[in-house]
Structure 1
Amino acid sequence: MSRDEDREKFIEALCAPGLADIVDLVCWVEDGEGGPTAYAANSVGRVRLHPDRPREVVSGQDPIGSEDPLAFLPYERELADPSPARSTHNAYPLAATRLLSFFADPDRSPDLAVVHTPRHFFPEEGGHVGEHGSLDVIQSRAPFILSGAGVRRQGYVDAYARLVDVGPTLAHLAGVPEDDLRDAKGEALDGRPQLQYLQPGTRPSHVIGILWDGAHCSDLLHLAETGELPGVARLVERGVALRGGAVAEFPSITLTNHTAILTGIGPGRHGVMGNVYYDRATGERVVPNDESTWHRSAEWLHPAARTIFEMVGDHLPADAAPRTASIDEAIDRGADYSTMAVIRASGESGADALDDALPDPHSSAFVRNRDYLADRYFRWCLRVDDLGLQQVLDLWADPALAPRLTWWANIVTDGGHHGGGPRSEMARDSLRQSDARLSVFLDQLERLGVLDDVTILLTADHGFETSSPEVTGSWRPALDALGIPYRDEGPGFVYLL
């Protein structure tokens, strides 16, 4: 039996009506005369997707409700239908473009991607109350706030960008010419600098990118508008916030999108398919997003991928150190200063080396509800972010010695949203906590007299939806019954063996 025939059997099994509560979409790519074509299917039908024209229904009815990146806006519309129960009521922005990228790696891309329904609860396989990873708009919507020197003051606008645009925008602001926004092969990036939000002819003294891992875009903007995130509000007042945020690459997973942000290319080109995936070339299961391997994550980048640290470094004198800095970021290749480089130099595992340096969470000035410290992941995230703030304050003790490009990743927002789901008190506690750290940094820049000279871009790597404890189960028994060898990593990445 051919590989295509085996894949079809898997598609049919996964599209059975009995799995409709947990299987949102099954996605794959087929080669054709015009090149690769993306497909999506579920129990209601099958559709062919195109980047530049309307999708075509192949059988049944269209399983995709919309591809609108601005779906579920204004925020009240999202609140009225959180975690939609059916794909026909949901939106999947830039679906073909994102799927074609995801399936472009011959060694690391799976044969099929199974998208969990927003309400699927699967803690036995690593799931949480708050979930991300989907192709859908809410799990894929990350904040995009651009602020400061050279930025047009437009406030909140009904627009969107892509996460692959973040890195090129930062690199452009830091002085990289547009014709050098390319990978190591000289090919153009997938993302583009968002010039429409910048004032022509102006250039900041320094550029600062800030990532709040998993920060729910619409709730973050809502809290900023209602006065609960004064630090974010300060940024918006000095620039622009896109209500549609930035669309994540598929899957809307942490390391896939950290890498997409910092290289400007999608997973089919940078090679980091998810937090866990299979590499056919080596026969290895790759797990870069783990406390013990976090500091080594950049090792799995394809050689052609080029980070913004490398791009910026290529256009600044070698003695202008540190030209770039990477705080608590796994994808740090090329940074002159890097938290992960310090960990690697220690010779210890990532977990051990980092734990030795992390402050006591119980003495943190940013703890709000101490009950959340009982959550191991939330507690660890808080400690990492406290250390991250200290690092960025030290780097910015003297503006004359500050890096031209600073990248500062924060993760307690991921812990809060996983633990409680978006809009929960735990999630909002994590947003307020991160805002308080941001405010400390903004205050320092203001005291140093440089706040008006820098440009800051605040983003995240994905969004979040809340799962339902009533929607459980696994598709693996249906796949096992086929008797065809396979791997299911994630779960959701199906590799035929």
Structure 2
Amino acid sequence: MAPSPEQRAAHRERAVAALCAPDLAAIVDLVVWVEDGTAYAANHLGRVRWNGDDARELLAGVDPIGSEDPMAFLPYEREVADPSPRLSTGNAYPYAAARLHSFFADPERSPDLAIVHTPRHRFLDEGGHIGEHGSLDVIQSRAPLVLSGAGVARRGYVDDHARLVDVGPTLAVLSGVPEDALADADGTPLDGRPLTAYLDGPPPRHVVGILWDGAPSGDLLHLAETGELPALARLVERGTALRGGAVAEFPSVTLTNHTAILTGVGPGRHGVMGNVYYDRATGETVVPNDETTWHRSAEWLKPSVRTVFEMVGDLLPPSESARTASVNEAIDRGADYSTMQVIRATSTGGAGSLDDLLPDPTGSPYLGEPTFLDDRYFRWGVRVDDVGLDQVLQLWADPSTSPPPRLTWWAHVVTDAGHHGAGPRSEMARDALRQSDARLGRFLDHLDEQGVLDDVAFLLTADHGFEGSHPDVTGSWRGVLEGLGVPFLDEGPGLVYFTD
């Protein structure tokens, strides 16, 4: 029998007290939850809640939230000078209340509480990596946001920020969807808003959205400015780059934010709580972020949400053959062309069963350092991203004879692999960024050769940022949770569900 709301609240209070013990301070950054419509955060220093106007109220001890400034650790030199802050009081947690309210809004899939890893926590034996993300904090939540090309204002680098839920509405408006049509299936307005302040001039004929998975905003813009990412610099020269990037939804993990980007709503509405989470309605643990299930990820979307592919598809007549395309993207519902459609049609085992069809990564013209291929995920990313470029070039093979899609969405993998494998600012991470930039440059050159580059609007972003874990900061809170004597699931780890 599932615990009653009163039992769950009692279990949560005991768990929070145990998790906020000083001897866990090195690995527990915050414990967060929502109770009776109020968001809370606590750690070994103290406890706060957010009132109705999102103002923090100190309940005990010292306020654990150092700042909520979305522009914290800027300029980039400040981020480099203080990587992976040791204390929450020296960190920033933008839009904390709004993101927590969204995350805990689903009665079936939201956990009873969430444990936020400290930026330096290294938990390799529980699924962690050298480079980490998932936190509520600003650097792990800061994805890049660059707008460029037709219909976009040319402002260069600006001191501003957005949210990832703004990306889908912006893509939709650029594609011709009226602002008053930006709503889910029951007419509820989206959480995000179109970034109309950065749109200017006649609308584009085509829109290309590009996601470099896990590409940190600060490092990305720094490398563009210093000449190491020339294709990205071309986009910025023809548009606008936000220094503060776009704030990811919590948790700042892949599937939660791919979905937020492409629906314009947070996890409490779209239903994808993380890369792994528990569904009380079915009694099952859901693992959409796996090579055997990635192609099925859109199945876990709530029926009420609409993807940007559906929004644009509803706008255009079915007779228009090339409406939307989704390349290497899991959240593809409604796309007329989709890589995942191909996988679903050809294999029941998912992307992993198609290994023989992918190219040899040692022959990739975009690979920098061959020894990085020893990392399995990096090797996979090189192969997948080379195939992704091939698909995009085919979709845009000859715009004069075969109209390209009104909206093309193109996701990249190797950037995530490089940052997980060796951490931000590592040579592996930067090799991955240079690869993605070179593939982008190949595509831009193709559009230029076809004479259509000036007809296209571009939006480049990511799903989260990254921080580096530290080899000396290890350990687990699992023993503390087990000591409560209450049945639980700890998915992630970090999403705690009381199950009995």
- 1:13 corresponds to which residue? 18
Per-residue deviation at 1:482?
1.1
1:153 and 2:144 correspond:
no
How big is each residue's C-alpha offset from its partner over 1:258-279, in whole Å with a ceiling of 9 and x where there is no partner? 0000000000000000000000
**How do 1:131-280 and structure 2 match up within 5 A?**
131-199=132-200, 202-280=202-280
TM-score of the aligned structures, taking structure 2 as reference length = 0.97
Per-residue deviation at 1:156?
0.3
Q: Which runs of 5+ in 1 are unaligned?
A: none
**How do 1:41-440 and structure 2 match up within 5 A?**
41-50=42-51, 52-199=53-200, 202-399=202-399, 400-440=402-442
Corresponding letter in the other structure for 1:494: V
Q: Tell me, yes or no, if the aligned pair for 1:324 and 1:406 is still in contact at 8 Å.
A: yes
Task: Supply the distance in 2 between the matched residues of 1:51 and 1:432 (Cα, whole angstroms).
Answer: 45
Secondary structure (helix, strand or coil) at the match of 1:147 reads strand
Per-residue deviation at 1:50?
4.3
Corresponding letter in the other structure for 2:231: G
Moved over 4 A (4+): none
Q: Tell me, yes or no, if the aligned pair for 2:54 and 2:97 is still in contact at 8 Å.
A: no
Task: Supply the distance in 2 between the matched residues of 1:49 and 1:43 (Cα, whole angstroms).
Answer: 18
Q: Tell me, yes or no, if the aligned pair for 2:19 and 2:480 is still in contact at 8 Å.
A: yes
Corresponding letter in the other structure for 1:314: D
Secondary structure (helix, strand or coil) at the match of 1:401 reads coil
Corresponding letter in the other structure for 1:443: D
Task: Supply the distance in 1 between the matched residues of 2:379 and 2:50 (Cα, whole angstroms).
Answer: 42
- 1:441 corresponds to which residue? 443
Residue 468 of structure 2: which of 466, 469, 476 is its match? 466
How big is each residue's C-alpha offset from its partner over 1:94-121, in whole Å with a ceiling of 9 and x where there is no partner? 0000000000000000000000000000
Task: Supply the distance in 2 between the matched residues of 1:177 and 1:301 (Cα, whole angstroms).
Answer: 24
Corresponding letter in the other structure for 2:342: V
Task: Supply the distance in 2 between the matched residues of 1:491 and 1:212 (Cα, whole angstroms).
Answer: 24
Task: Supply the distance in 1 between the matched residues of 2:51 and 2:164 (Cα, whole angstroms).
Answer: 20
Task: Supply the distance in 2 between the matched residues of 1:93 and 1:354 (Cα, whole angstroms).
Answer: 40
Q: Tell me, yes or no, if the aligned pair for 2:153 and 2:198 is still in contact at 8 Å.
A: yes
Task: Supply the distance in 1 between the matched residues of 2:335 and 2:55 (Cα, whole angstroms).
Answer: 42
Per-residue deviation at 1:5?
1.3
TM-score of the aligned structures, taking structure 1 as reference length = 0.98
How big is each residue's C-alpha offset from its partner over 1:9-68, in whole Å with a ceiling of 9 and x where there is no partner? 00000000000000000000010xxxx110000000000124734211011010000000
Secondary structure (helix, strand or coil) at the match of 1:335 reads coil
Corresponding letter in the other structure for 1:55: R
Per-residue deviation at 1:407?
0.1
Q: Tell me, yes or no, if the aligned pair for 2:213 and 2:415 is still in contact at 8 Å.
A: yes
Task: Supply the distance in 2 between the matched residues of 1:459 and 1:261 (Cα, whole angstroms).
Answer: 9
Task: Supply the distance in 2 between the matched residues of 1:50 and 1:385 (Cα, whole angstroms).
Answer: 45
How big is each residue's C-alpha offset from its partner over 1:321-352, in whole Å with a ceiling of 9 and x where there is no partner? 12100000000000000000000011331134
Task: Supply the distance in 2 between the matched residues of 1:50 and 1:431 (Cα, whole angstroms).
Answer: 41
The verdict on how the C-alpha distance between 1:74 and 1:104 changes in structure 2, with shifts beyond 3 A counting, is: same
Task: Supply the distance in 2 between the matched residues of 1:51 and 1:119 (Cα, whole angstroms).
Answer: 32
Corresponding letter in the other structure for 1:30: E
- 2:3 corresponds to which residue? none
Give aligned-pair identity as a percent.
Answer: 73
Q: Tell me, yes or no, if the aligned pair for 1:140 and 1:247 is still in contact at 8 Å.
A: yes
Per-residue deviation at 1:356?
3.2
Task: Supply the distance in 2 between the matched residues of 1:227 and 1:109 (Cα, whole angstroms).
Answer: 43
Q: Tell me, yes or no, if the aligned pair for 1:50 and 1:97 is still in contact at 8 Å.
A: no
Q: Tell me, yes or no, if the aligned pair for 1:51 and 1:97 is still in contact at 8 Å.
A: no
Task: Supply the distance in 2 between the matched residues of 1:419 and 1:335 (Cα, whole angstroms).
Answer: 32
Corresponding letter in the other structure for 2:238: R
Q: Tell me, yes or no, if the aligned pair for 2:106 and 2:268 is still in contact at 8 Å.
A: yes
Per-residue deviation at 1:199?
1.0
Q: Tell me, yes or no, if the aligned pair for 2:325 and 2:337 is still in contact at 8 Å.
A: yes
Per-residue deviation at 1:353?
4.3
Q: Tell me, yes or no, if the aligned pair for 2:347 and 2:354 is still in contact at 8 Å.
A: no
